[in-house]
Amino acid sequence: MDRRNFLRAAALVGGAVAANKTGLLPSPSSWRIAQSPGSAAGGPLYIPPTVSPKALTLTARATAAEIAPGVSSPIFAIGNGPVAPTIRARAGERATIVLRNELAEPTILHWHGLRPPEASDGHPRLAIGTGAEYRYDFALNERAGTYWYHSHPHMRTAAQIHLGMAGLFIITDAEEEALGLPSGARELGIVLQDKRPDEQGRISYNVTMGHDMMEGLLGSAAYVNGVRTPSVNVDSAMYRVRVLGAANARIFRLGLSNERPITLIGTDGGLLDAPIQLPHMDLSTGERADLLLDFSGLAVGTRVKLQSLAFVSPYRGMGGMGGGMGGGMGRGMGGGGALPQGAAMDLLEFVVTRSVRETPRVPSKLSTLPAIETAAVSKERVFHFRSAMMQHSINGKDFDMERIDERVPFGATERWVFVNDAPFPHPVHMHAVHFRIASREGGRNEIFPWERGWKDTVLVYPGERVSVIAKFDSYRGRFMMHCHNLEHEDHGMMMNFAIE
C-alpha cells in the first residue's frame, strides 16, 4: 500500500478523536466500573456482558468509557464497554449476527480462530460504510475453546482494535463440561493490550511514522479488558482464566508475582491432551492461553499479580532493515514513555477477599490430540516475512485485496513454512484452518510447551523458520494469512489464499 493511503488513514484517526471531543459522536456510554473494596490503583476489572451469537446485533460506535478510575476516554466500542461483549455458544450452534456500523469509517468483524465460509469471515474487502449493516450466518462446528473477534478493515484494524474493538468468543462442548473445570464466577476472560495514555489518562491511536510503523506500537501501560492495570477479587480457590493477546505489537511473558506456577490447559484451538505446569509462558497478538491459576490456601488480603515478566527483546536493531530508517530506531523510541518489547509490566491484580476450603482439582487428562499429520502433506509453501522502509511484505509482495497469492486444493494437507527475514518478531495467523506446529529452526530453535495443540497463530522470531501443518477442509473460498502485529498487517504483511 502506498504512503498516501497511510497518511489518509492517519488523518482519519485524528479526525475521529476530534469529532468525539466536540461531542458530534454519541454521548458517553452509561457504563461505569463498579467500585469494589479490593480495587487497586487501576480500578476493578471490567467484565463484559456475555451474549449468545444467536440473533445477535453488534453495534460499532465511537463512544467513551471509564478506562481508569475517574478517566473517561474516547474509545471505539462494539456495544458500550472498553472491550466487546463475550460471545458464548455451544459447539454445533449457529451464529446469526448483524454488525451495525455507526462509526465514521468502514469496519467489518472477523471471528478469529473460527472457520466460517468466506462471506462470514470478515475479509477487509467486505468492510461496510457508516450506517450500513452486515449479516453473518455460520455454523460453529469447532472444538470447545477460546476464540475471539475483532475488526478487520484494510489499514484501520490496528486503530480499531487498539481503541476497543475486540472481544472473546467462547465455545463449550460436552467433553469440556465433563471435566468440571472452574466455572461461573471462577472463570474469567481477559483481553490483554498495552496503550499509551496521555496526561489525562485518555487513549488514542497515535502512531509515529518511524518506529511505531516498523516495530509496531508499544504502550506505556497494560490494559486488561480495556481498563488500565485493574484488579479483581477472588476466593482462595482455583480459577480458570482465558487470556487473549490483543496488543498491537507487545509479546507478554505471563507469570504470577508469587511465583506459583501457572497451569496451561488449552491453546488457540481448544484443550490440550493434558495440563502443563509452567513457571511462565509467552503470548503474542492473536494467541490465546486457557489457564488454571491457583489461589488456594492464600489468606484474605493476599494480592497476587499476573505480570508480564522481563525478557530479552527479539528486536534485532538496524541490521536487517534495508537501510533508510535513520537513527531514531532504538528500542522503545516510540514516544509517550513506551516500554520496550520485553520490559516487565503488571497486568492484573488478584485480591483474595474470601477464604474457602476446597482442594483444587486439575484433571489429569483433558482431551485427545491427534498426531501431527506429517505423512499426509501434499505440498510445502514457503513464506518470507520482510520489513523495510515502513513496508511489511510477504514473499516480497505488499497486500492486495483482490490478488490471490496461493491456491490450495480443498481437502489438502500442506506444510506452510514461515521464515522471518525482518528484525522484528511476527505472530503469523491463518484464517480458515487450525494448524499444528511441526518445527522451528533457527532463533529459539524449539517448540515451546505453550505451542502444543491446535493453533491458528504462531510467533516467529527474527531468523526463525517455523513450519506448520494444516488441513484446508473448512470451506472453499478466499481467506487470508497475515502477520498479526497490527501495524504490520495494516501495512502490507498480509496475503490472500483461495481454497478451491
* Residue 469 binding: pick among Cu ion, ligand C2O, none (C-beta 5-8 Å cut-off by kind): none
C-alpha to C-alpha distance for 13 and 160, rounded to whole angstroms: 9
Phi first, then psi, for residue 29 (nearest 5°) are -70, 165
In the set 123, 440, 488, 491, which binds Cu ion (CB under 5 A)?
488
3-state secondary structure of 450: helix
Q: Could you tell me the maximum CA-CA distance found in the chain, to the nearest angstrom?
A: 62
Residue with cell 505480570: 307
Q: Which residue is nearest to ligand C2O (CB)?
A: 112
For every residue of 33-90, DSSP letters joined together read: PPP-TT--TT-BPP-PPEE-STTEEEEEEEEEEEEETTEEEEEEEESSSSSPPEEEEE
Q: Quick check: 152 binds Cu ion (CB under 5 A)?
A: no
How many other C-beta atoms are found inside a 10 Å radius of the C-beta of residue 184? 6
Shortest Å distance, C-beta 40 to ligand C2O = 30
* Residue 152 binding: pick among Cu ion, ligand C2O, none (C-beta 5-8 Å cut-off by kind): ligand C2O
Shortest Å distance, C-beta 317 to Cu ion = 16
* Residue 426 binding: pick among ligand C2O, Cu ion, none (C-beta 5-8 Å cut-off by kind): Cu ion
Shortest Å distance, C-beta 230 to ligand C2O = 24
C-alpha to C-alpha distance for 34 and 125, rounded to whole angstroms: 40
Cβ pair 239, 208 in contact under 8 A: no
Shortest Å distance, C-beta 353 to ligand C2O = 35
Question: Where along the sequence are the contacts to ligand C2O (CB under 6 A)?
Answer: 110, 112, 150, 152, 286, 429, 431, 480, 482, 484
Q: Quick check: 485 binds Cu ion (CB under 5 A)?
A: yes
Number of H helices, E strands in the chain: 5, 31
Cell numbers at 417, concatenated: 513454512
**Interface residues for Cu ion in 96-115 (CB under 5 A)?**
112
Q: What is the separation, in whole angstroms, between the first and last Cα of the chain?
A: 27
Q: Quick check: 161 binds Cu ion (CB under 5 A)?
A: no
* Residue 143 binding: pick among Cu ion, ligand C2O, none (C-beta 5-8 Å cut-off by kind): none
**Interface residues for Cu ion in 388-447 (CB under 5 A)?**
426, 431
Shortest Å distance, C-beta 111 to Cu ion = 7
* Pairing between β-strand 238-245 and β-strand 187-195 as defined by DSSP bridges: parallel
* Residue 488 binding: pick among Cu ion, ligand C2O, none (C-beta 5-8 Å cut-off by kind): Cu ion
C-beta of 415 vs 431, nearer to Cu ion: 431
* Residue 156 binding: pick among Cu ion, ligand C2O, none (C-beta 5-8 Å cut-off by kind): none
* Residue 480 binding: pick among Cu ion, ligand C2O, none (C-beta 5-8 Å cut-off by kind): ligand C2O
C-alpha to C-alpha distance for 415 and 396, rounded to whole angstroms: 20
Shortest Å distance, C-beta 20 to Cu ion = 29
Residue 216, CB half-sphere, CA atoms under 13 Å: how many?
A: 34
Shortest Å distance, C-beta 413 to Cu ion = 20
C-beta of 152 vs 228, nearer to ligand C2O: 152
3-state secondary structure of 10: helix
**Contact footprint for Cu ion (CB under 5 A):** 112, 426, 431, 483, 485, 488
